[in-house]
Amino acid sequence: MISKGFKWVFRSPPRLLLIGFACIILAGTILLKLPAATAAEETTSWIDALFTATSATCVTGLVTLDTGTHWTTFGQIVILALIQIGGLGFMTMATLFAFFLKRKISLKERLILQEALNQSSMEGIVRLVRRVIVYALSIQLIGALLLSVRFLFDMSPGRAIYFGIFHAISFFNNAGFDIMGHYKSLTDYVGDPLVNIVTMLLIILGGLGFIVLSDLIDWKRTRRLTLHSKVVLSMTGFLIGFGALVILVFEYTNAGTMEPLSFGEKLLSAFLQSVSPRTAGVNSLDLASLRQATQFFLVLLMFIGASPGSTGGGIKTTTFATLIGAVYAMMRGKDDVVMFRYRLAQERVYKALTVTLLSLALVLVATMILSTTEDHHFLEILFEVTSAFSTVGLSMGLTLELTLVGKIIIIVMMFIGRVGPLSMGYAFGPKPGRTLYRYAEGKIIIG
C-alpha cells in the first residue's frame, strides 16, 4: 500500500512539486514553533507558525507577526532558509547538493526540474540549473555587500552585515520579508538612493527569470535574444515605467505619502512602488495612506506579477503580453498573435487565457469569502487576497487582524499562487488522453 502511494506521488512531476512544497512548509512550521525561534516573553500559535512558514516558502512576505521583533536570530534564519528554498525551488537546491556529491541527475529528476523551472523541454535543463545557482548566489552576494555598506552608517558592523544578507536574499527572491522592526519595511529609507536602487535591481533581476538572465549574459557572445526574453524585457520595462508614472501622478499631492518629499525622493518612491507589486512586497510609502485609485492600480500590477521561471508570482508578464496580443489581433481582424515577427501557437494563447481566468476566479472567490469573515473594506480585502495569490506580500494592514478562517484562506491562496493553478490541476486532475475524434463545428454569437 505504501509503495503504491509513493508511485502515485512520483508518477506526476507537478504532484511531487506540490507535495514537496507542502513538506517544506510543514518542516518550517515545526521549527518556527520551537521556543528557540521565538523572542523572550512572546508566544507563537500553530496557525501563526504555519502562516509564516507558508509565506516564507511561497516567497510572499505577508506576516501576522513582526519578523524583526517577534523572532529570534534562529527564527529569522529559518525564515531566510525557507525563502531561499522557496525562491529557487527545492529541486534546484536538491540538485545543488547532488552537484556537491558528484551524483548524476536521473531522467525523472530532470522531468521534475523541467516542471519546476517551467520549461517546455528537458534539453539543457541541468546546465540551466547550474546557471540558476551561480546567478542567484552571485547577485545576492553583491546585493548583500552593497546593502551592508549602507547599513554600516546606521548600526554596528555585525548587525549591518546580517541585515545586508537577510534583505538581499529576501528582495532577490521577491519575498518582501524585512527585519527593520515594527512593520516599517523601507519607509525609513524612502529617500535613500543606494537602498532604493539596490532593492529595485534585486527585485527586477529576481523577477526577470533565469532564462532571461542567461540570455542577457550570453548576448555579448550570441548577439541575439530569444522571443521569450524580448517579450519579458519589453513588458517589464513598460510596466515599471508606466507604473511609476501613474503612481507619481496619483500620489504627487497626497499629504499622507509623497507631498512632503523632494522631487528626487518622489521619483525613487514611485519607481520602488512600481517595481515592488511585481511580487516583491517592499514599500517605502504607507500603503494605507495611498489614494484608492493608486491602491487599485497596485492590485492590477500585483495580479500581472513577475515573469516565468523567476522567483515571483502572478499570472506572469508573458501571459499578460499574450492576452494583449490576442486582443490586438482580434481587433485588427488577424488570425495570428504576432510578437517581434514571430507567430504564437494557438496553444499558447489558450494557456494564457486559462491561467488568467483560473487566477481571476480564485482571487474573486477568496475575496468573496473574506468579505464575509473579515470586517474590512472591500478594496482592503481584494488587495490582501491578490497580494497573497501573486506572492507579493504588500498589505494595507489586514493581515494583522485576520480571523482564523481568514488566515487559512490566505495560506491556501499563497500556496496555490506559488505552485500555480495549472500545476494544481495537473497534479490532481486525470491524466489527459489523446482524443481520436473532433466534434462538428458549431457557431454562437460573441459580443
pLDDT of residue 2: 44
* One pLDDT digit (tens) per residue for the chain, 447 residues: 445 554 545 556 667 778 878 888 999 999 999 999 998 777 889 999 999 999 999 888 899 999 888 999 999 999 999 998 888 765 555 555 455 545 565 555 566 555 555 555 555 666 767 777 888 889 999 999 999 999 999 889 999 999 999 999 999 988 889 888 778 888 888 888 999 999 999 999 988 887 888 888 888 788 888 888 899 999 999 999 999 999 999 999 999 889 998 998 999 999 999 999 977 888 888 898 999 999 999 999 999 998 887 777 889 999 999 999 999 998 888 888 999 988 998 888 999 999 999 999 999 999 999 999 998 899 999 999 999 999 898 988 898 899 999 999 999 999 998 888 877 776 666 666 666 777 887 877 777
Type of residue at 27: A
- Residue 418's nearest CA partner among 46, 83, 29, 58 is 58
CA separation, residue 89 to residues 18, 39, 103, 183 (Å): 11, 29, 19, 27
Burial of 199 (0-12, 13-18, 19+ CB in 10 A): buried
* Residues 225, 134, 136, 159, Cα dihedral to 10°: -150
Number of domains the chain contains: 1
pLDDT at 111: 60
What residue numbers bound the domain in which 325 lies?
2-426
Give dist(CA 175, CA 391) in Å, integer: 8
Q: Classify residue 437: in a domain, yes or no.
A: no
Query: Within a domain: residue 235?
Result: yes
Residue 152 placed within a domain: yes
End-to-end CA distance of the chain: 53
How far is the C-alpha of 111 from the C-alpha of 314, rounded, in Å? 24
User: Is residue 61 a part of any domain in this protein?
Assistant: yes
Whole-angstrom CA distances from 128 to 173, 212, 232, 413 are: 18, 11, 18, 29
Whole-number pLDDT of residue 92 = 59
Does the residue 143 lie in any domain?
Answer: yes
Cα–Cα distances (Å) from 252 to 85, 282, 299, 334, 395, in that order, read 39, 20, 19, 41, 21
pLDDT of residue 387: 93
C-alpha cell at 370: 473574506
Domain-embedded: residue 432: no
Cα separation, 85 vs 28, whole angstroms: 11
Q: How many CA atoms lie within 13 A of 184 on its CB side?
A: 11
Cell of 276: 515592488
36 within domain boundaries: yes
The answer to whether residue 408 is domain-embedded is: yes
Give pLDDT, residue 8: 47
The interaxial angle of helices 317-331 and 346-373, nearest 10 deg, is 120
- CA separation for the pair 420, 437 (Å, rounded): 30
pLDDT score of 148: 95
| Contact between 92 and 116 (Cβ < 8 Å) | yes
Distances (CA, A) of 209 to 9, 36, 79, 317, 368: 28, 36, 22, 11, 32
Is residue 263 within 8 Å of 321, Cβ to Cβ? Answer: no
